[in-house]
Structure 1
Amino acid sequence: MLSTPEIVQTSAEQAAIIRLTIPRSEMMKQFGPAVGELMTTLAAQGVKPVGAVFAHHLKMSADSFDFELGVKTAAPVKASGRVHPGELPAAKVARAIYSGPYEGLPSAWDEFNSWMKANGHPQANDLWELYSVGPQSSPDPANWRTELNRPLVG
């Protein structure tokens, strides 16, 4: 289920990120271990995560994802291994909340993209998902919440 979309202005927010360029088929295999690596590095540096993990997709093709897996932080992170300082950008975005299991995200994005087109909101090439409620919070996928954000052009 998708909430009623809204247009909001975001502020730049510092984050710790790991850049991944992987085949789409590898997402479920790579995502969890990368989150663990990110959190372990933050803990070792004494940096507190702020909020949930996000995936900022920079390029997408039919067979691969190029994205930054990250989490906003209360203080800057120092580069260590694959973990680097980064940010979620300031942008005018269309935003909606998807409720349900991750397998439903492609359909939610289709519905969201259709809404943006129907309402005259030209889209930038990137997008991000913030996994506000997921397996770490609830064992029931019906309770999961993913914030969909699509920067707008113009």
Structure 2
Amino acid sequence: MAARTDVSTAFPPPAVRRLLVVCSHPFDATFALGGVIGAFVRAGTHVRIVCLTHGRRPDDGARRAARATELLDAARRLGVEEVSLLDHRAGHLQGNTPEWLASELRAVAGQVDALLTIDARAPGSHPDHVRAMRTAQHAAAELHCPLYGWVRRTWDAGDEPADVIAVDCDRARQRSAISCHESSPPSDDPIRELPRLDETRDFLTVVQQGLASSEPPGSGHRREADDMEIVRGQREAQEVMGLHESVRMDELGDFFPRAMTAAGEALAARGVTPAGPPVALYQGMAEEKFDVTAGFPVPAGAAPSGDVVVATLPGGATVEAIHQGSYDGLSSTYEELTAWFKDNGMTPPTVMWEEYLVGPESEADPSHWQTRIVYPMG
């Protein structure tokens, strides 16, 4: 539990030791979340901020650097020393899958007990806020942590809904942090309408409950398997551009480089950036040959080209596991997954896919490679 330093606070934030704040834009951390972040810091919580972009709009290098410096200064005024800015383009977060963005969060998060972001479930929410929330949901599920959402008050004062958490905010810290933004958002930017600096309280929702580590195997949440865990997840449908063939097991080693090269060239010709790591979609097996499409996730609406096709990773509930190590050891991970399905009275679906999170292109040591295996359960 956090060591509270202000016991007189009538409405303290939830008791959290290590909080990860997920923002889509630097202004979100101050204009929207600044009061709550200050309250968590005042309560003794160690806070880390991860911002997915450098601003509300794509900017040149000089302005990007300025906004990064402003956020670092603002975070210090909130009492936060650890800040990471990722290099995604503002307004284009929808081109990245939440799973891919969540993997980037986990890479910089360190130890985390809870996450905080803007609750973007209301109609009309900024698309980048929606993607940041979806990303935080995936990260929270994989880290087995609760996700809190900051929500703007839309009800009469004193008439709070039962499912919100009132928090006494540190407005002095928040105003000081906001003053660090020399490149302030335009006067018509909706972010200016989010904070109520004249009020003493902000409000949180529980966007997603944490998963208790004491839940038994078969509860549908988590199972430890040596250094691997098997989890249930939730996915949005995702288009993939790649090469589709029927391939024998001993031909996969030659097929994958050829498929990734063809898909990469097709994407480059269109000026399209992959929306996530390389992927291989398996759609069954016939006559000892895999029906496989290998390539890259792409934004919706991509068109096929020649031998390069567009397939869809199905959305809905999933069962997932991350294999750590060389591809030669994947069979043992599949055996563990098969045993998990049997333990839970289920049969593994014939359709599934692999996501190559870390591989030989970026890591020479095979022991550090990571492959996520995903079974759609819808």
TM-score by length of 2: 0.39
Q: In terms of mean alpha carbon deviation, does 35-44 or 19-28 score higher?
A: 19-28
User: Residue 297 of structure 2 aligns with which residue?
Assistant: 72
| Displacement after TM superposition at 1:103 (Å) | 0.4
Paired letter, 2:329: G
Structure 1 residues 110 and 98: CA distance shift in structure 2, 3 A: same
Residues 77-132 of structure 1, C-alpha deviations (whole Å, 9 max, x = no match): 22211112222111321101000000011111011111121123443211111011
Instruction: Indicate conservation of the 8 Å contact 1:121/1:152, yes or no.
Output: no
Pairs aligned (count) = 153
The amino acid of 1:128's aligned partner reads W
**2:288 alignment partner in structure 1:** 63
Which residue matches 2:362? 137
- Whether the 8 Å contact between 2:242 and 2:262 is mirrored in structure 1 is no
The 8 Å contact of residues 242 and 260 in structure 2, kept in 1 or not, is answered as no
Deviation at residue 25 of structure 1 after TM alignment: 1.2
> Shift in Å at residue 28 of structure 1?
0.4
Structure 2 residue aligned with 1:36, among 241, 261, 273? Answer: 261
Distance 1:58 1:35 in 2: 18
Give the stretch that moved more between structures: 20-29 or 66-75: 66-75
User: Over residues 41-63 of structure 1, what are the superposed CA-to-partner deviations in whole Å (9 max), with x where a residue is unaligned?
Assistant: 10001111011111111012573
Whichever residue aligns with residue 141 of structure 1, its letter is P
- Aligned 8 A contact 1:123 1:150 in 2: yes
C-alpha distance in 2, partners of 1:121/1:94? 11
- Larger radius of gyration between Structure 1 and Structure 2: 2
Pick which of 56-65 and 95-104 moved more: 56-65
Alignment of 1:1-154 (within 5 A): 3-60=228-285, 63-74=288-299, 76-152=301-377
Q: Secondary structure at the match of 2:315?
A: coil
In structure 1, stretches of 5+ residues that fail to align are none
CA distance in 2, matches of 1:61, 1:110: 20
Secondary structure of 1:31 counterpart: helix
Across the aligned residues of Structure 1 and Structure 2, the Cα RMSD in angstroms comes to: 1.8
Distance 2:272 2:229 in 1: 35
Contact preservation (8 Å) 2:259, 2:295: no
Partner Cα separation in structure 2 for residue 6 and residue 94 of structure 1: 6
Within 1, Cα distance between the matches of 2:249 and 2:349? 21
| 5+ long unaligned stretches in structure 2 | 1-225
Shift of 1:17: 2.5
Which protein has greater RCO, CA pairs closer than 8 Å, 6+ apart? 1
- Identity across aligned pairs (percent)? 31
Relative to structure 1, the CA distance from residue 62 to residue 97 in structure 2 (aligned partners, 3 Å threshold; closer, same or farther) is farther
